[in-house]
Every structure is written in structure tokens, then in C-alpha cells.
Amino acid sequence: MTTTTQHQRSEGVRAAASGLTMFAAVMLVMCGMLDIFRGIMAIADDEVFINTPHYVFRFDLTSWGWIHLGLGVVAMAVGIGLVVMQKWARIMGVGVAALLIIGNFLDIPYAPLWSVTLIALYGFIIWALCVVQPDSESY
């Protein structure tokens, strides 16, 4: 490919790229909402979660609640930005999903099944945002 010639993508490739971006957007909004609910549960009632007395990264569950609530709100905002095809949202989506993977990993002793599920979903979101190279005119 020379610098003067620009490679044109087929309609199928463009559809796949926009489909994966939309998948990431919807999943980011949904997972962000789940983290918001998780944060509200931890803030409102600490007895909902498992108590692990000798956990290295032990925080008060109310603190974990505020962390998940804040990151969930940011994840939803970035997901909405992805729906309207904003370039900043694509970059932030990878970063926010990575932060939420770390947050959910550190939170495994308090809600193991929920944490592992969300880690997998955020991994899919990162994959969907990184695997496609959208056309420059759409971003």
C-alpha cells in the first residue's frame, strides 16, 4: 500500500467494525449499570457481601461501593459516547474497562461470581474496541 493510495474497506468489514463498536457500547452501558447497582448495594447494606477477614486489599465495603458506583457512572457515560461514535469514548472505553477489571479483581473475595463475570465482560469490551480499525471519516 503506497502513501498516495488509500485502502478502501468492503461493506462487510465496515459493518463488522461498527457492529463490534456497538457491542462494546451496549456492554459498557450494561456492565456500568451493574457496577452502579453493586456500588449501591455495598453502600446501603454491607451484609449483602461476603466478609473476608484476611484479604490483602481490604477496604471498608462502603469504600468499595463508592469506587464501583463512580466507575460505573463513568463506564455508562463512555458507553453512550461510543453509541454516538466519539473518538474519545473509544480510547476511554479501553481505559475504563481496564480499571473496572482491576477493581473487580480486587473485589473478588466480596462477590466472587459477580466479579469474575464482570471481568470476562470487560475483557470482551476491550477486545471489541481494540480489534477493529474504524474508517477515519467515522471517527
Q: pLDDT digits over 4-27, tens only?
A: 444 555 666 666 667 788 888 999
Residue 120 has pLDDT above 90, yes or no: yes
Query: Domain limits at 86?
Result: 35-44+59-132
Distance CA 52, CA 68 (A): 18
Contact 69, 43 (CB under 8 A): yes
Which residue's entry shows cell 459516547? 81
DSSP 8-state class, residue 111? S
Average pLDDT value for the chain: 80
Q: List the end-to-end C-alpha distance of the chain, in Å, as a whole number.
A: 22
Give domain status of residue 16, yes or no: no
Give residue 139's Cα distance to chain centre: 20
Q: What is the pLDDT of residue 71?
A: 93
Each residue's pLDDT tens digit, 1-10: 444 444 555 6
Q: What is the pLDDT of residues 76-96, one digit of tens each?
A: 999 999 998 888 898 899 999
Q: Residue 115: inside a domain, yes or no?
A: yes
In total, how many domains does the chain have? 1
Task: Summarize pLDDT for 42-71 with one digit per residue, the tens.
Answer: 888 766 565 666 666 666 778 888 998 999
Instruction: Give the pLDDT confidence score for residue 51 in this predicted structure.
Output: 61
Percent of the chain with pLDDT over 70: 73
pTM above 0.95, yes or no: no
Residue 124 lies in a domain: yes
